[in-house]
Amino acid sequence: MTLSRMNLEALTGSSLLRRTAISGARTVLTAAALLAGCTLAALAQSHMYDSQTQFLPSAVRSVSTVPATGDVNPYGVAFVPNTFLTGKGPLAHGDILVSNFNNKNNLQGTGTTIMDIPASGGAPTVFFQGTAPLGLSTGLGTLQYGYVLVANLPTSDGTSNTAKPGSILVINNQGKLVKSITGSEIDGPWDMTVIDHGDTATVYVANALNGTVSRIQLSVNASGVTKTGHSIIASGYMHQGDPAALFDAPTGLVYDQKSDLLFVASTLDNLVFAVPSASTRMSSDGPGYIVYDDPSHLHGALAMAEAPNGHLLVTNNDVINSDPKQPSEIVEFTKDGNFVKEIPVDPNQGGSFGLAVSVNNNGTATLAAVDDNGLSLTIWTLQDEQ
């Protein structure tokens, strides 16, 4: 199907390649580009993006995600929204949070830190420093009462053989752990998405240990976060331990409120599914139905986010259906399964993982994606010309 859309490749600008030292021991190639002259036609008054317009631009800014403790392997990405109650804590609206999955010895499932990437452009700092055993995975989100939720899938030796069921950590706006949510519905939380309604919230969790997706209901107020219910709403996703990726399992989740569909990126299946009636169903009818089957561009479908034009963005782990000619790609596709565009976050394979998108009231859209190879976060910004 041929789409009528603006080609963001026509943006004027220049590319700059530079080498950045990592921990004083090795260098990685990172990329940046200066964007100018970008007009998104549908933004004029409503700041809404045309559903037929490409979203993926060229890279702009790259920052390190390595704390003083030496944690590596950045996984989860989340923006601090304008509705977040920052209080007297270190976070500011527009900051970007990044969770680290590995410790300084590069053992998977042993990372204990969440980094704060300031919107102001300042140096990254540690927002949360947990106590081992922890393994902070791709699931990362916020609640407007001033809480950060992060998925915890710990191991004792960096292998899937020692992986534990884990938990969802609740961290306050001061960067202090206030609660750990556990239960049978949390079994290796590999990724999650948070739907925040203020006094209540819904968390969808992708479980790596049993290939299911669960829905958790929360009650939220200034005093804390309480689990009020849970259901397993999808199952049957292929899952296995993997020495390179720890797990190949259901990962990326995007909830579409209009259709009440939960989109699920399943790495080992190398497919994107849709689970109907996601907010109300009380049991599983299987993995849902397939919405995106594209072996030409999917190479281990991983984390996922929704672009402001309604398209879905999915990263590749490059372990499943590997293609050296398409390393560390973010793939953009429509919700009815049509490929739009792809861009790499790193020139080598295995660099793409977590990503997130934010749209401000002034029409500025920001995409942030981690580069596991470069131990960094790359930030793209598109601003409407008014």
Concatenating the DSSP letter of every residue in 120-173 gives TS---EEEEE--SS--EEEEEEEETTTEEEEEE---SSSSGGG----EEEEEET
Give tens-digit pLDDT for 336-363.
999 999 999 999 999 999 999 999 877 7
Tell me what percent of the residues of the chain surpass a pLDDT of 90: 82
Phi, psi for 177 (deg, rounded to 5): -70, 125
| Three-state SS at 326 | coil
Which tokens in the block code for residue 106? 């590069």
For 66, the token pair is 């390595």
3-state secondary structure 154-165: CCCCCCHHHCCC
Q: What is the spatial distance between Cα 134 and Cα 154, in angstroms, rounded to a whole number?
A: 5
| Residue 10 structure tokens | 């026509």
The model carries a pTM of 0.86
At 124-181, the pLDDT tens digits run 999 999 999 999 999 999 999 999 999 999 999 999 999 999 999 999 999 999 999 9
Rounded average pLDDT over 379-385: 74
For residue 26, pLDDT beyond 50: no
- 298: how many CB neighbours lie within 10 A of its CB? 27
Per-residue pLDDT tens over the stretch 40-64? 233 333 445 566 667 776 668 999 9
Residue 364: band (very low, low, confident or very high) from pLDDT cuts 50, 70, 90: confident
Q: Are 158 and 178 spatial neighbours (Cβ–Cβ below 8 Å)?
A: no
Is 254 a residue whose pLDDT tops 60?
Answer: yes
Q: In this structure, which amino acid lies at residue 123? A: A
Residue 363's pLDDT is what?
A: 78
Write the DSSP symbol of residue 49: P
For residue 4, what are its two tokens?
């009528």
Helix (H) or strand (E) holding 233: strand 224-234
Mean pLDDT, residues 248-272 taken together: 98
Once rounded to an integer, what is the mean pLDDT over residues 12-30? 30
Of the candidates 360, 359, 356, 358, the residue with the CA atom closest to the CA atom of residue 369? 356
Looking at residue 9, what DSSP letter applies? G
Q: How far is CA 244 from CA 107, 156, 178, 188, 196, in A?
A: 11, 16, 32, 17, 34
Is 80 exceeded by the pLDDT of residue 37?
no
pLDDT band for 33, please (50, 70, 90 cuts): very low
Q: Is the dihedral of CA 263, 267, 268, 271 positive or negative?
A: positive
d(CA 328, CA 190): 19
Residues pairing with 219 in the sheet:
200, 226
Taking 80 as the threshold, does the pLDDT of residue 310 lie above it? yes
| Residue type at position 267 | T
Q: Which amino acid would we find at residue 168?
A: I
Question: Cis peptide before 295, with omega less than 30 degrees from 0?
Answer: no
Stretch among 35-49, 164-178, 183-197, 248-262 having the lowest mean pLDDT? 35-49
**Mind listing the pLDDT tens digit for each residue in 268-294?**
999 999 999 999 999 999 999 999 999
Which domains are assigned to the chain? 69-343 (2.120.10.30)
Residue 10 in 3-state DSSP? helix
Q: What percent of the chain has pLDDT over 70?
A: 84
**Average of per-residue pLDDT values in the chain:** 87
